[in-house]
Structures are given as structure tokens and as C-alpha cells.
Chain A
């Protein structure tokens, strides 16, 4: 199936741990994004990558670091997890010249205890 996929679907971890969330798209898109959705369902962009270059970085803590091994993957690594990091994280992708039409993955629900 052509889609944006994320792993894991659920992630429960202790405060202070380091974790990664993986994202892959097989839509042939050249731009990928990470969003955070809080408990009130508010969606906010965190990062986007195009051709392995970071083109948006919305003042997120530097504990969050996106890593893109190729244009089909954009992983999110989080160091020293905090309680406030608990949220649903969505990966999305698009073509660079149609950046408005973003396709979202199913989300990763991160719970920090």
C-alpha cells in the first residue's frame, strides 16, 4: 500500500530516557514533516526536511532531533524525555512544490511516565 507509515504506534517510557520514532513514505514525496498533537488535539509543526535539509524548525527544544537517511525516511529522536513530551506525533509528507497537500501517517502516541 502507498502510504506514510510510522513505528511504533504506541510508546510508553520513563522520564529521562531517549527514544526514536521512525517514519517512512512510499509516495515518492521529497519533503517530510513532523507534527505534535497535544491532549487538546492542537496540531503544531515541529520540523520539515527537503533533500536532507532542514527547512523549518519551529523553536522546539534541542532534545528533539530529526534525522533523514534518505528522502523516504524522516526519523524523530528525542533525548531526555520529559512529562510534557507526552503527545501524539505525526509524520507527514508532500511534494516540495505542493507543500500544502500533506499526507499524514497514523501517528505515534508517546506517553512519558
Chain B
């Protein structure tokens, strides 16, 4: 089946640093999404991207839908301790109702 390759698998950074993570696919996706999961909680939608080339921000978070429609990245600027968690990319292949494919997640740790 379709898979998303998300990297890096984990990151350990200092508070205040910028963070970048990305997701790639071997096939085209119509939608890219980024979710964050805190320990013991369900994933929460951060950013949704619907058009190739689209660049969208949500506070200190910025995400882009790659022009090839096979990749997306998420940047977090000036990280703070509450940014810790697991970040998941997700994509919806064309013609698949609600069938989100999730990446394996990037675990972010922020040292104060």
C-alpha cells in the first residue's frame, strides 16, 4: 500500500531553535496535513494544505505542499517547551474518501 516517509524520526533541540521536518511519498497526494500528538492524547490538526505549492502558517508553524504533490514540510520557529510531542504528516491520495495515510511521526524534544 501507499506509504509516507517522514523524517527525521526524532529530534532533540534547544529552546529557541527552529525545527524542520518533512514527508515524502512515492505517489501523488491531493491533500497534505500536519498533526501533533501530545502524550496520552489524540492527534490534533495543525495545518491542512490543499493545493500544490501552497504555503500556510499557523502561528510559529509553517507548512508547504510540494509542487510535485509528493512531499510536504513543516517548520517550527523559535521552539518552546510545549512544542514537545509527536508530529505526524498525513496525506489523502486522490479518490479516497477520508482515507488518510499517516507518516510514522517525528518525536520532538525541546530542552529548556
A residues neighboring B (CB under 8 Å): 4, 31, 33, 40-45, 48, 55-56, 58, 90, 92, 94, 99-107
Residue numbers in A under 8 Å from B105 (CB-CB): 41-42
**Among A31, A42, A104, contact of B43 (Cβ-Cβ < 8 Å):** A104
B88 within 8 A of A: yes
Asked if residues A100 and B102 are in contact (CB atoms below 8 Å), the reply is: no
Residue of A nearest to B96 (CB): A56
A-B contact pairs, 14 of them (CB 8 A): A33-B98, A43-B43, A43-B88, A45-B99, A48-B97, A56-B99, A90-B43, A94-B98, A99-B98, A100-B48, A101-B48, A104-B35, A104-B44, A106-B42
A-B residue pairs, 4 tightest by C-beta: A104-B42, A99-B98, A43-B102, A100-B31
Total cross-chain contacts (CB, 8 A): 59
Q: Complex Cα distance A43/B37, Å?
A: 11
B25 within 8 A of A: no
Asked if residues B98 and A42 are in contact (CB atoms below 8 Å), the reply is: no
B residues neighboring A (CB under 8 Å): 31, 33, 35, 37, 40-45, 48, 50, 86, 88, 92, 97-100, 102, 104-105, 107
Q: Complex Cα distance A42/B106, Å?
A: 11
Q: Complex Cα distance A106/B31, Å?
A: 24
**Among A33, A92, A103, A106, contact of B41 (Cβ-Cβ < 8 Å):** A106
How far in angstroms is the closest Cβ of chain A from B17?
A: 23
**Among A4, A41, A56, contact of B97 (Cβ-Cβ < 8 Å):** A56
How far in angstroms is the closest Cβ of chain B from A26?
A: 15
